[in-house]
Amino acid sequence: MMKILVLGSGGREHALVWKLAQSPRAPTIYCAPGNGGIAAEPGVECLAWDGKDIEALLGIASKLAPDLTVVGPELPLTLGVVDEFQKRGLRIFGPTQRAARLEASKAFAKEFMRRHNIPTGHYAVCASEKDVSDALVHLHGRIVVKADGLAAGKGVVIAENRDEAAAVAKEMLSGAMLGAAGASVVIEEFLDGEELSFLVVSDGERLVPLAPAQDHKRIGEGDTGANTGGMGAYSIDALLDPQMREWLLHHVARPVIAGMKQEEAEYRGVLYCGLMMTARGPQVLEFNCRFGDPETQPILLRLESDLAEIFTAAADGRLREEEFTWSKEATACVVIASGGYPGAYEVGKPIRGLDEAALVQGVKVFHAGTARSSAGVLAGNDEGVSPSQSRLVTSGGRILGVTARGASLEQALSRAYEAAGKIHFDGMYFRKDIGHRAMKANA
Ligand code: AMP
Ligand code: GLY
């Protein structure tokens, strides 16, 4: 019997667990630490873990002896979880610490792109205020300031002008804003266009693209307000025509995989290319060394293949394009968040209406920040309390990803919104305009 361990606790990990569970190999799935929704999936067990203690995780893994481990978030990757598992002969899907620098350091990513001629915005890496003022001389209009290190989505500021850019860069460099993550900053030209999330799976040499997706990063309707982890996403083939897909493979994805190999940082895992489709062609905004959240929810809803086989093949260096088949359907995910997110929010709010929402045709509700109230934290600790006695409560910023399939994007969205309308908790918030760009383009 195949055992799979999934690391993480968000909507992305719920989607991974749900899809892996459909494998014809009928695997037993463990998730560390998981969430309220993952714990409720049949045959899935959640294990307590703090998300960053690699020693503790190695202890769990040596007892469990999983046949495959799948890493959801970037933090364990940048802490070297893949290197440690590989040293112990444990099969794991994800890039090594050295390869994960593509996400962990924006300066590394930009300079890597320069070395390998990968299209990206003009930029300068700055370690001091002097560097910043030099960099700003050449730029006008809106300017993007990015902390070099990981900042959980808070490290990118779009400044209206040079003065604001200089002030933001100064605050980042001082450490006041983001600590060590801001020890150096990338100053970048503002790029205008449609965003596209283009993800590929690689075994270090070969690579296979996933269905394309578009995220909605801002908190407010019409793409206004603060940046978030992502408030909704959808996947339709029309986001990426076959010619552009070839172009992106040729000019972005393959040069990354080949370049990393050449630089002795072989890249196995998912490579997330965040792109801006500008008037002068696609430009890379960022790389992530993992699946996107919420993009994974609509992407995996369209995958017809055995995800356990795909990950195993990639980890073993024998990936084949034939392994991927996709539904022609459209899929969409509406994220329901706690009021106040991405700023301060309250937790512990009881969630109602999930059973009704699940009855809407074509809908799957993925959980992110949910927990069983009896334990206060995660499942596995609520001895003596049956699931029906314990209540599902909110435990984070993003709570649920209401995801639906349909014959068209319009149908997928209307199903997702019908289901979202059946769900209630105090202060809940979701955007009503997910997919608005594609819907307008079609009108
Ligand atoms: P990143 O973490 O680099 O992807 O940045 C987060 C978000 O900020 C992106 O998804 C874009 O919406 C926005 N962004 C980043 N860089 C730029 C840029 N050069 N021009 C315009 N928007 C950007
Ligand atoms: N949804 C954007 C990300 O996962 O980084």
pLDDT tens digits for 345-381? 999 999 999 999 999 999 999 999 999 986 444 444 4
Which of 13, 150, 197 has the most ligand 2 atoms within 8 A of CB, as the residue to mutate? 197
Res 389 pLDDT > 70: no
Do residues 17 and 368 lie in contact, with contact meaning Cβ atoms separated by under 8 Å? Answer: no
Tens digits of per-residue pLDDT, 134-172? 999 988 889 999 999 998 878 999 999 999 999 999 999
Closest by CA to 161, choosing from 125, 129, 187, is: 187
Give the whole-angstrom CA distance, residue 265 versus residue 106. Answer: 16
Ligand 1 centroid–CA 276 distance in Å is 8
Ligand 1 centroid–CA 285 distance in Å is 6
Residue nearest to atom 4 of ligand 2 (CA): 292
Q: Is 81 helix (H, G, I), strand (E, B) or coil?
A: helix
Structural tokens at position 60: 């769990």
Ligand 1 centroid–CA 422 distance in Å is 33
Closest by CA to 230, choosing from 288, 303, 163, 173, is: 288
Q: How many helices (H) and strands (E) does the chain have?
A: 16, 22
Give the whole-angstrom CA distance, residue 313 versus residue 203. Answer: 8
CA geometry: angle at 307 spanning 305 and 312, to 5°? 125
Do residues 362 and 409 lie in contact, with contact meaning Cβ atoms separated by under 8 Å? Answer: no
Ligand 2 centroid–CA 321 distance in Å is 25
Residue indicated by tokens 């014809």 = 24
* Across 101-123, average pLDDT: 97
Q: Within 13 Å and on the Cβ side, how many CA atoms surround 15?
A: 27
End-to-end CA distance of the chain: 50
Q: Is 147 helix (H, G, I), strand (E, B) or coil?
A: strand
Answer whether 218 contacts ligand 1 (Cβ < 6 A).
no
Cα pseudo-dihedral 176, 185, 197, 207, rounded to 10 = -120
Give the whole-angstrom CA distance, residue 240 versus residue 250. Answer: 14
Residues contacting 302, CB < 8 A, separation 6+: 211, 235, 326, 327, 329, 331, 405
Burial class (CB in 10 A: 0-12, 13-18, 19+), 246: exposed
Res 443: pLDDT: 64
**Domains of the chain with bracketed CATH:** 3-93 (3.40.50.20), 122-189 (3.30.1490.20), 194-323 (3.30.470.20), 330-442 (3.90.600.10)
Give the ligand with the smallest distance to the CA of 142: 1
Ligand 2 centroid–CA 296 distance in Å is 9
pTM: 0.95
Answer whether 296 contacts ligand 2 (Cβ < 6 A).
no
Do residues 145 and 168 lie in contact, with contact meaning Cβ atoms separated by under 8 Å? Answer: yes
Between these two residues, 386 and 202, which has the higher pLDDT value? 202
Answer whether 229 contacts ligand 1 (Cβ < 6 A).
no
Give the whole-angstrom CA distance, residue 433 versus residue 218. Answer: 11
Burial class (CB in 10 A: 0-12, 13-18, 19+), 388: exposed
Tens digits of per-residue pLDDT, 256-269? 999 999 999 999 99
What average pLDDT is seen over the chain? 94
Between these two residues, 347 and 442, which has the higher pLDDT value? 347
Res 374: pLDDT: 67
pLDDT band at 439 (very low <50, low <70, confident <90, very high): confident
